[in-house]
C-alpha cells in the first residue's frame, strides 16, 4: 500500500481527499475511514506520516499479526466535525482485546462484557458528578454526536499487546490534531486523565484543561473520584458562551 486513503464527508457524500493519494494494487490491504472535511484539512501536514502508517499496518496484516481496531474504525474519532468539537478527552491506545476497541478512547463495542474497569470507574464518577445513570454497555458513541471527541494518542494496537504501536508515528498525527483544535479556538475544554495525557497540556495553549489521575483501578482512588470532570467541563463551556454537554448515554 503506497498511501493510506482517507475519505471525507462533504455535502452528504463520501469523497476521497486528494491530499491522501491512493496507491497500490486493487487487492492491496487499505485502511479507509470517513472523516470530517475539516479534519481532512487539519491532517494534511501529516499525510506522509499517515501513508507510512498505512504501509506499517499492511505489513502487520501480511505477517499475520493484524491490528485493532478494525480498519473502518481506526479514524473513527475524526468523524466528529472539527468545527463542532467542544470537549476533547484523550486516551492512550486502543484496548488490545479482540472485538473490544471501536476507535474511540475509553469506549468499547456495546456487546463487550464485562465493561473495562477504567470505563466502569468513569461511569461511577459520571453518576456521582452529574447524576447520569450509566448503561450496561461501554459504547460512548452518543457523546461524539454532541461535541465530544474521544481521541486515543495512538490509534492502533497489535491484538493482545497493549502499547505495541507506540512510537510508530501515530503520536505525530494526534499531536497535529490537538494543535489544530487549540489553534481553532473555543469553545473548547480538554479533559486529561493520567500522566501521559497531562503531558499534552502544553500543546493546548490557552484551552481550559481539566486534569486528574487516570481512571484505572490502580490510580482512580488517588484523585480521579471526586474530580467532577463532567460538571467542570460544562461550567467552562458555559463560561465560554457555549451549550453544556448532555452526558447521558442511551441504554
pLDDT at 34: 72
pLDDT at 35: 86
| 4: pLDDT strictly greater than 80 | no
Measuring CA to CA, which residue among 28, 160, 14 is closest to residue 75? 14
Going by their DSSP bridges, the two strands 7-10 and 34-36 should be labelled as parallel
pTM for this model (two decimals): 0.88
Residue with cell 472539527: 82
CATH class of 7-239: alpha beta
| 1: pLDDT strictly greater than 80 | no
* CA atoms of 36 and 181, how far apart (whole Å): 14
| 172: pLDDT strictly greater than 50 | yes
Are 149 and 89 in contact, with CB atoms under 8 Å apart?
yes
| 79: pLDDT strictly greater than 60 | yes
Catalogue the active-site residues.
Answer: 93
Across all residues in the chain, what is the average pLDDT? 89
pLDDT at 180: 98
- For residue 246, whether the previous peptide bond is cis, meaning omega lies within 30 degrees of 0, is no
195-205: average pLDDT: 95
- Domain segments of the chain as ranges: 7-239
**% of residues, the chain, pLDDT over 70:** 87
DSSP letters for 133-188: PP-SS---HHHHTTTEEEEESS--BBTTBTTTTTTSSHHHHHHHHHHHHHHH-SS-
pLDDT at 33: 60
Amino acid at each position: 500500500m503506497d498511501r493510506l486513503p482517507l475519505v471525507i464527508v462533504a455535502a452528504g457524500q463520501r469523497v476521497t481527499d486528494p491530499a491522501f493519494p491512493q496507491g497500490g494494487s486493487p487487492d492491496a490491504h487499505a485502511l479507509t475511514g470517513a472523516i470530517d472535511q475539516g479534519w481532512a484539512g487539519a491532517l494534511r501536514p501529516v499525510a506522509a506520516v499517515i501513508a507510512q502508517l498505512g504501509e506499517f499496518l499492511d505489513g502487520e496484516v501480511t505477517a499475520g499479526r493484524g491490528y485493532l481496531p478494525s480498519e473502518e474504525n481506526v479514524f473513527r474519532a475524526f468523524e466528529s466535525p472539527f468545527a463542532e468539537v467542544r470537549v476533547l478527552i484523550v486516551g492512550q491506545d486502543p484496548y488490545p482485546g479482540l472485538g473490544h476497541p471501536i476507535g474511540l478512547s475509553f469506549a468499547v463495542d456495546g456487546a463487550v462484557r464485562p465493561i473495562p474497569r477504567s470505563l466502569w470507574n468513569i461511569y461511577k464518577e459520571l453518576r456521582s458528578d452529574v447524576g447520569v445513570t450509566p448503561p450496561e454497555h461501554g459504547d460512548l458513541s452518543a457523546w461524539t454526536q454532541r461535541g465530544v471527541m474521544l481521541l486515543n494518542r495512538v490509534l492502533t494496537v497489535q491484538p493482545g499487546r497493549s502499547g505495541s504501536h507506540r512510537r510508530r508515528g501515530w503520536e505525530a498525527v494526534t499531536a497535529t490534531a490537538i494543535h489544530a483544535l487549540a489553534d481553532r479556538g473555543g469553545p473548547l475544554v480538554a479533559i486529561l486523565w493520567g500522566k501521559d495525557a497531562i503531558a499534552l497540556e502544553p500543546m493546548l495553549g490557552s484551552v481550559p484543561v481539566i486534569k486528574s489521575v487516570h481512571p484505572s483501578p490502580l490510580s482512580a482512588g488517588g484523585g480521579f473520584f471526586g474530580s467532577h470532570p463532567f460538571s467542570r467541563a460544562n461550567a467552562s463551556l458555559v463560561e465560554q458562551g457555549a451549550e453544556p454537554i448532555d452526558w447521558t448515554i442511551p441504554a
